[in-house]
Amino acid sequence: MEKSIFIVLAGRTFPAISSAEGDYEDWIGAGLGSSLPQQVLSAWDSPEFPSLTEVAGVIVSGSHAMVTDRLPWSERLGAWLKSCVQADIPVLGICYGHQLLAHACGGKVGNRAAGIEIGTHQIELTAQAIDDPLFGNMPQQFPVNLVHFQSVLELPEAAQLLACSAAEAHQAFRIGNYAWGVQFHPEFSAAAMEGYIQQVRLNHSADALACATATATPEAGSLLRRFGELSKSLA
C-alpha cells in the first residue's frame, strides 16, 4: 500500500477567508502537488492518529488555538509528532504546528512580548540551513507571511536553528533528521494574508497592524513542494 502525506488540521481559517479563498488543507495540498497521495484529518476529531506504517509525511496546519492551552487533542497530536520524529518520518509544522513540534520535543512556547506579528516580512537563513535537506539551496533572505501571537521562546535542546528575523528569533528549525517547524505560512497567498490582516484588524489595534502588508511569497511556498518530494524519496 502506498503511503500518504497526512495534512493534519489544527484549526480553521476565518469563514470570511475560506468562503473566498479556501482553507488550510486546500492551500497546503496545492503547494504539495501530486508527488504522493494526500489525506486530511482534523486533530480535534481524531482520538487516534494513523499508524506510522501508513505515513510518508505529516504537515500540521496553523490554528487560532494556543499551544499553551494544552488542549487534550493538541497534547495527543504533540505526542504523535514526537513519535514521527523518532521514526524519521518527515514532519512540517506550520505556525501552530511549528510551536507544537517544539513543545512536544522539549522546547518552550509562550506569548510574544511584542504582541502580534502579522503581514509579509523578511527572514534570513542561518549557516546551519546551507546543507539542510529542506532549506538547502534556498536564498539567504526571502519574504514570508506571518500571523501569530505566540512563538517558540526556547528551541528543543537538540534542534538546529535554520532561520530568524529581526522580530523573531526562531523562524524555522529542524529536529532530528527530517522534522521541521516554520513559524511562517508557506501556504498563504497574498490574498489569504490580506484576509488575515483585515480580520485581525477588526478585533485588535496593535501597532503591527498599522503598517502590515501582504505580498506573494513564492520562495516560502516552494518549501511545500520540496517537502512533498523529500517525503516521496524517503517513503
Domain ranges of the chain: 4-234
At 208, the pLDDT band (50, 70, 90 cuts) reads low
Please give the pLDDT value at position 35: 81
95 part of the active site: yes
At 201, the pLDDT band (50, 70, 90 cuts) reads confident
Q: What are phi and psi of 88, to 5 degrees?
A: 60, 35
- Residue 210 confidence (pLDDT) above 80: no
Please give the pLDDT value at position 57: 98
Range 171-183 average pLDDT:
98
- Quote the pTM value: 0.96
How confident is the model over 147-158, as pLDDT tens digits?
999 999 999 999
Please give the pLDDT value at position 206: 64
**Cβ contacts of 155 within 8 Å, gap of 6 or more:** 102, 107, 161, 170, 173
Q: Which residue of the set 98, 103, 148, 185 is catalytic?
A: 185
168 part of the active site: no
Q: Please state which of the ranges 46-50, 93-97, 170-174, 222-226 shows the lowest mean pLDDT.
A: 46-50
CATH architecture of the domain covering 4-234: 3-Layer(aba) Sandwich (3.40)
Q: Which residue of the set 25, 117, 168, 187 is catalytic?
A: 187
Q: Higher confidence at residue 204 or residue 4?
A: 4
At 192, the pLDDT band (50, 70, 90 cuts) reads very high
Per-position b or e across 200-233, b if 16+ CB within 10 A of its CB: beeeeebebbeebebeebeebbebbebbbebbbe
Q: Which residue of the set 95, 105, 117, 194 is catalytic?
A: 95
Range 114-133 average pLDDT:
96
Please give the pLDDT value at position 213: 92
Range 78-90 average pLDDT:
98
At 205, the pLDDT band (50, 70, 90 cuts) reads low
Range 216-222 average pLDDT:
98
CB 61 within 8 A of CB 94: yes
Please give the pLDDT value at position 187: 98
84 part of the active site: no
